Chain A
């Protein structure tokens, strides 16, 4: 365990740029977005998280998979685009680390997604614990935050004038070794301070709700009228899926331009009527069924299918971006209280 003087953070990140693309939270005007490190915009003292999670650096909003060109005769020239650029993402909140852990389970277990794998294997994750509760987050209830326990190469905790830096992997250790002179050994006092901050941060969240047995409760709630009621105001924007750190459904389209075509994949949304239409039709005909799918996928199917993986990281973004104020915590509470 080390500490890094806060004033040295930029130097540390700058130093990585020789070998890595470095992604950090940036202050764009009044907005917080992940982007390529720029010391003049680097955001360090922020509450909450950028509106789009860092998953897009592993699974972009739009990704060219390959191009195919009709050549003479029957020949088709195919060119794949695997992105193996080495990258470091700094400033990832614990909820988003959890999201990446879940994506790893999905994209790298049974059926390996080579595009995700290429990016993931070349990515170093540096987290930043949350000293303050954000407005819509509920990581505390899901035990995915506000302080990260795993799924990082390095994790930073803000101790006012310095960071406590914990190592989570060999790759993380190697990052420190690159600029060992910037780091000092952490004291017991530093660790104690971090523990105090964690406890204090937890106090700031809304009261915990008990997630134990939620899968059983869900199994009984299949025919409940809550799905129709809660989804009644949905205006089909897809935002809840697009901002979710664990949502991973995509669609594939071919764009033809003359002889050359490209195959692109884009984020899709299970809340839309045309979702899964490539398989003839969407079996979930009503909005209530689609909302139920979103909740079951996160709290029932993903844990069952991927050995207890967490399908929802509790980041609260879907609450924040919903034009109709549909609130996943409210839905969970209704399920739990049944």
Chain B
């Protein structure tokens, strides 16, 4: 049996394991005991989640739409068709009538090539990916406050924090090996504060559980800041020497007395006071957040509030402190780093900056567009309006993951041309004109960048299934049909080009990644990488952190008499996103075979709903039928639905109300009604 060390393909923790291979088949998993994050441990997805690799449903040849069905085609025919259609649309409607969606499941090298394809080959900045749907608000919010949009500290520092404030992260389910660090800290005597409208597993061993109403995060944190400032628990030296605009913050949070904050959030005032004191009195306080903070119309505000809290107490720029946004996908950090975003080149270099753009023009040998492109949600809207003619999607299933999927379906059907590159015929791929078979992580070489900015190797364990090809190869071959040569002997050479053009990856090369990877920023070949950011000074221009005064704004769609419940969406630990991989796995599917809605026990009694009963949940945009799970761990008036299940798609219900800056949809709050089916 061959054993190949690689990086897990599921979440952003970045665990390593060996895949055991026999007869070109993955038949075993061995956790990597020497890895700094997982240390020989794995979650159930890491142990048992890889069945999908050999699923008979894998795509094995290119497919071309013929009438209502697909026919198999050769790669050459598929490439020719795509090249002809894209060329025709570009000539007739211009480059910006085409958009490209990259993938946080794919490698850095693939993301780099796909954004290069959009910019250099098609000639548009219309490139984006699912980070828009998860951490767009983090990038905007932390860039503005700190100057870098990434997790500030490292995963294994969390275990040594004295106080851990988890807000909007169901860590045991979504980032199990980060939860492991939190549990280690708690068992070692550290204090845990959890803010979540559900009594999640972590809340069971929290010192304080703040059960605030969905969408009231700003009011909650402003209330804590009010206590910290009025009780003099702030770090005056830090504020004076390392930050700016503190007075503006002070003025705003003065309005948020614990009583006021309590009225808005529903959290008892004394709990807000206690949480503020506990957090502020420790010199090793860490903030951990995820989608509960970001997926709101106030996503950027929420993120900035977390930054305010860290800076006011001086809990940043040192070990076991900081603001740690937990990135969801295995490589969503990397896809952002690689510039699969409409406004920046790799390394967050603005497309509007002439000097930076010229650097890429020299590197790639073509003139590049200077106007920021469309975000995913905007691109879909433009598709429906008829302005966007063609869409090229690599490894995303927006028919389940975008909000308001009925709207997405109409938009995709309105396009002149849709290409989907995936490993399965997903709900999205079924609508495509051409489907190209990509490969799983086990069939390719490359790198993923984990949530702690750790760039790590992904190593090919088996040969591609059928005629499928690594996405890197597909992009370079298609590019050459469109008259632009991308010539790389191996993914390592792509990384060398990334390093030349991306200062934060400047010192990264495959030979240096062999061991445990490297954490960016890593600007030069002799740089050891960076375990925590903002030491001594912030990454922001001028080196100071910036406070923002954040007024409270309620969510865009609140319950009313027609839609009396608030719905919040999320995930379960056994499944991954739209379930295309995990629902094909025997154990993961067995544990959670179908969708469900969590209903508070009192609400259930009122409506005559019993545990396990089929119910109907409807919003202004759609309705679904699914099983009720009656629990006492969710607030009355609130429902929770995981979004993995196509037949009970939570995103038929959610709306596309966007954060005004980050353009992230408010998945975490919409108004619905609930009735027996």
Does A303 count as interface, using CB distance less than 8 angstroms? no
> A-B pairs with the 4 shortest C-beta distances?
A30-B34, A323-B180, A257-B56, A274-B590
Which of B18, B30, B43, B590 interacts with A277 by CB under 8 Å? B590
24 chain-A/chain-B pairs, Cβ below 8 angstroms: A29-B34, A31-B33, A32-B33, A51-B31, A60-B28, A61-B20, A232-B204, A235-B176, A235-B180, A236-B591, A237-B42, A237-B176, A238-B48, A251-B586, A253-B586, A257-B56, A258-B56, A273-B591, A274-B590, A323-B177, A324-B180, A324-B183, A325-B183, A325-B184
Q: Residue-by-residue, is B493-517 near A (CB-CB < 8 Å gives 1, otherwise 0)?
A: 0000000000000000000000100
Report B-chain residues with C-beta under 8 Å of the C-beta of A52.
28, 30
Chain A residues whose C-beta falls within 8 Å of the C-beta of B28 in the assembled complex: 52, 56, 60-62
- Which B residues touch A255, using CB under 8 A? 54, 56
Contact B41 A322 (CB under 8 A): yes
Is B420 positioned at the interface, with any CB of A under 8 Å from its CB?
no
Other A-B pairs, 12, CB within 8 Å; known A235-B173, A256-B56, A274-B591: A31-B32, A33-B3, A61-B20, A232-B204, A235-B172, A235-B573, A253-B586, A257-B56, A273-B591, A322-B41, A323-B179, A325-B187
A268 proximal to B (CB < 8 A):
yes
Which B residues lie within 8 Å of A242 (CB)? 47
Whether, in the assembled complex, A233 has its beta carbon less than 8 Å from a beta carbon of chain B, the answer is yes
A321–B56 touching, CB < 8 Å? no
CA A237 to CA B30, docked complex, whole Å: 14
- For residues 23 through 44 of chain A, which have their beta carbon under 8 Å from a beta carbon of chain B? 28-33, 35-36
Give the residue name and chain of the B residue nearest to A35 (CB). B3
Among the listed A235, A251, A258, A273, which residue makes an inter-chain contact with B179, where contact means beta carbons less than 8 Å apart? A235
Bound CA–CA A284/B205 (angstroms): 23
Inter-chain contact A233/B33, CB cutoff 8 Å:
no
1/0 per residue, CB under 8 A from A, across B168-187: the answer is: 00001100110110011001
Measured CA separation A51–B243 after assembly (Å): 48
- Docked Cα-Cα span, A77 to B466, in Å, equals 25
Task: Flag whether B5 is at the interface (Cβ < 8 A).
Answer: yes
A326 CB to closest chain B CB (Å) equals 9
A104 at interface by CB-CB < 8 Å = no
Query: What sequence of 0s and 1s flags, for each residue 555-579 of chain B, a beta carbon within 8 Å of any chain A beta carbon?
Result: 0000000000000000001100000
Hey, which chain B residues are within 8 Å of A324, CB to CB? Answer: 180, 183
Is A321 a contact partner of B41 (Cβ separation < 8 A)?
A: yes
B189 within 8 A of A: no
Q: Which residues of B contact A36 (CB under 8 A)?
A: 1
A186 to B22, CA, bound (A): 41
A20 CB, nearest partner CB in chain B, Å: 15
Chain A hits for B386, CB < 8 A: none
The A-contacting residues of B in range 530-546, CB under 8 angstroms, are: none
Measured CA separation A324–B179 after assembly (Å): 8
A interface residues, Cβ below 8 angstroms from B: 28-33, 35-36, 51-52, 56, 60-62, 232-233, 235-239, 242, 251, 253, 255-258, 266, 268, 272-274, 277, 320-325
Residue of B nearest to A322 (CB): B41
B254 contacts the other chain (Cβ, under 8 Å)? no
Q: In the assembled complex, how far is the CB of residue B184 from the closest CB belonging to chain A, in whole angstroms?
A: 6
Interface flags, B183-199, vs A, CB<8A=1, else 0:
11001000000000000
User: Are B34 and A235 in contact (CB-based, < 8 A)?
Assistant: no
Q: How many residues of B contact A (CB 8 A)?
A: 42
Asked if B605 CB lies within 8 Å of chain A CBs, one says no
A320: chain B residues within 8 A (beta carbon): 33, 40
A176 to B586, CA, bound (A): 45
| CB of A70 to closest CB in B, whole Å | 15
* Complex contact B41–A239 (CB within 8 A): yes
Q: Smallest distance from the beta carbon of A116 to chain B beta carbons, Å?
A: 17
Give Cα A237–Cα B180 distance, bound, in whole angstroms.
11
Check B47 against A236 for contact (C-beta < 8 Å). Answer: no
| A-facing residues in B260-296 (Cβ within 8 Å) | none
User: Is B29 interfacial (CB-CB < 8 Å)?
Assistant: yes
A132 CB to nearest chain B CB (Å): 17
Question: Does B201 reach chain A (CB closer than 8 Å)?
Answer: yes
| B18 and A33 within 8 A (CB) | yes
A316 smallest CB distance to B (angstroms)? 12
Report the Cα distance A321→B42, complex, angstroms. 8
CB of B366 within 8 Å of the partner chain: no
User: Do A51 and B33 form a contact, CB below 8 Å, given A35-B1, A266-B48?
Assistant: yes
A166 to B3, alpha carbons, bound, how many Å? Answer: 32
Complex CA distance for A36 and B184, rounded to whole angstroms: 36
- Pairwise interchain contact B1-A237, C-beta atoms closer than 8 A: no
Contacts of B18 in A (CB 8 A): 28, 31, 33
Q: Which B residues lie within 8 Å of A236 (CB)?
A: 44, 573-574, 591
Which residues in A have their C-beta under 8 angstroms from that of B661? none
In the complex, whether B27 has a CB less than 8 A from a CB of chain A is yes
A28 x B5 contact (CB < 8 A):
yes
**Does the CB pair B42–A29 fall under 8 Å?**
no
B674, chain A: closest CB distance, angstroms: 25
Q: Which residues of B from 9 to 62 have beta carbons under 8 Å from A?
A: 18, 20, 27-34, 40-44, 46-48, 54, 56
Indicate if the CB atoms of B201 and A235 lie closer than 8 Å.
yes
A35 to B20, CA, bound (A): 10
Shortest distance between the CB of A160 and any CB in chain B (Å) = 26
> Could you tell me the distance in whole angstroms from the C-beta of A217 to the nearest C-beta in chain B?
24
Say whether B587 faces chain A, with CB atoms less than 8 Å apart: yes
Contact A238 B590 (CB under 8 A): no
Chain B contacts for A277, CB-based, 8 A = 590
**When the two chains form their complex, are residues A321 and B34 in contact, meaning their CB atoms are under 8 A apart?**
no
Bound-complex Cα distance A236 to B586 (A): 15
- Of B20, B30, B184, the contact of A51 (CB 8 Å cutoff): B30
In the complex, are the beta carbons of B5 and A232 less than 8 A apart? Answer: no
